[in-house]
Structure 1
């Protein structure tokens, strides 16, 4: 199966698992997706992630508290046909929601708060709340 946007596919798998009330989402491995999972784990959206070497998949446990998921919304911002880049000075103006924006910068994958602290701009990947 050829996918034009593997990150969007990963986010859709997580969103669908979350909406169905599943505890675990499974999707194909890539190093970028692994970094995204670790950032989501740091920001309390995922409980834990691990790499299944046999099937080359990432398994991610969605974090729940009192039967309610910590994930309410996932929205892909940059798409293959339209990349959204923001300079550091524009991040504060565009990233005002209560959730987390993940940004790919020259310093690596950062949340919008980390990018503001480091004064880094970059490609806005997606928003999660």
Structure 2
């Protein structure tokens, strides 16, 4: 039984980028689809799709690398953990690496990046840090 599906997703992405795999597959959920959508919108992955497999649906991410094979995701960390939740208001969200990275937040408006959270003036739980 998996106790933290978000950490599992981030670990799968981290491992895939280290060995430069073109695809990553994992069981799907609403929060994972939201994180995948943010990664696509921010340009860290090419595409994601949901496959009808048994016993459950599978989420497939198409990883993105630079023109010479360099990694776009150099670091991916879980911020808010099941034992210690981390919440931030939109005024407390600072750009990661001067805007070169993002934070992924779970807000009342859904899963969004820190840039979008600041423009929409909404805070929430910080799920992950990516750069």
What range describes the TM-score normalised by the shorter chain of this pair? over 0.9
CA contact (8 A) 2:96 2:103 kept: no
Superposition RMSD on alpha carbons, in Å? 1.1
TM-score by length of 2: 0.91
TM-score by length of 1: 0.92
The structural deviation recorded for 1:113 is 0.9
CA contact (8 A) 2:26 2:58 kept: yes
Residue number in structure 2 paired with 1:59: 60
| Matched position secondary structure for 1:64 | coil
Residue number in structure 2 paired with 1:29: 28
Off by >6 Å, runs of 4+ in structure 1: none
The structural deviation recorded for 1:109 is 1.2
Deviates more, 1:10-19 or 1:62-71: 62-71
State the distance in 1 between where 2:47 and 2:109 align: 24
Residue number in structure 1 paired with 2:92: 90
The structural deviation recorded for 1:35 is 1.2
CA contact (8 A) 1:14 1:25 kept: yes
Aligned residues: 126
The structural deviation recorded for 1:20 is 1.1
The structural deviation recorded for 1:32 is 1.1
Residue number in structure 2 paired with 1:6: 5
State the distance in 2 between where 1:23 and 1:61 align: 6
State the distance in 1 between where 2:31 and 2:86 align: 18
